[in-house]
Chains A and B, each alone.
Chain A
């Protein structure tokens, strides 16, 4: 069982829809991450929150909007997506904030997103 929980597991949305992906961890971790993974590729970093503040945005298009309501929750709001945004979206957390080098990431099982 993973200690990082992501909902929903699967999501199909049209290009005009607005939806949200949710991520939750109760390990007391202080950094949380969103990754995007296309088929047969490694995960690509999108956003990092450290101590509930957005610390890294890897030049992600504005149709993806992250939110960290508290230290245990991370959301990714989706609006006006394109078919090429279809992918597995992974959430992860690590014990220390971004300055905690070497702190391993704990991943959720991801949300499989299909944009039609």
Chain B
């Protein structure tokens, strides 16, 4: 069964500093990986996705992530953060739902990113 582990529950960073949010997944089959962001009192917004091809994926708001199959990781990075990046970030893997063979998203526990001035 597929699973996702986000290694940090909270990450405090100063404004304009770089940040990395870590995500590891477990799967015995090919996976599709996603990062979502949730701002306070809002739903989840897709930041980026990895389906196939280049292992470096660029998303919205200056975020990027690198798929590393050997380390089963999909870490999210941004070179310079802003106050507006304060939010909850969820890594997710697309799992195959038996018995229909349908897609189901499995989320990590989330990482709270706090940007300090």
Contact = CB atoms under 8 A, between A and B. Distances in A.
Contacts of A4: 43
A101 B96 contact: yes
Given A42-B108, A42-B109, A104-B49, A99 B43 contact: no
Contacts of B42: 109-110
A2 B43 contact: yes
Looking at chain B's contact residues, the main secondary structure is strand
A102 B103 contact: yes
Interface of B: 32, 34, 36, 41-46, 49, 51, 90, 94, 96-97, 100-105, 107-110
Looking at chain A's contact residues, the main secondary structure is loop
Counting from the closest, the 9 A-B pairs by CB-CB distance are A98-B102, A107-B43, A42-B107, A102-B32, A107-B44, A109-B43, A102-B51, A101-B103, A104-B46
A42 B90 contact: yes
Interface of A: 2, 4, 6, 40-43, 45, 48, 50, 55-56, 90, 92, 94, 97-110, 112
A56 B32 CA distance: 20
18 contacts: A2-B43, A4-B43, A42-B90, A42-B108, A42-B110, A43-B44, A55-B102, A97-B102, A99-B101, A99-B102, A101-B94, A101-B96, A101-B103, A102-B32, A102-B94, A107-B43, A108-B43, A109-B42
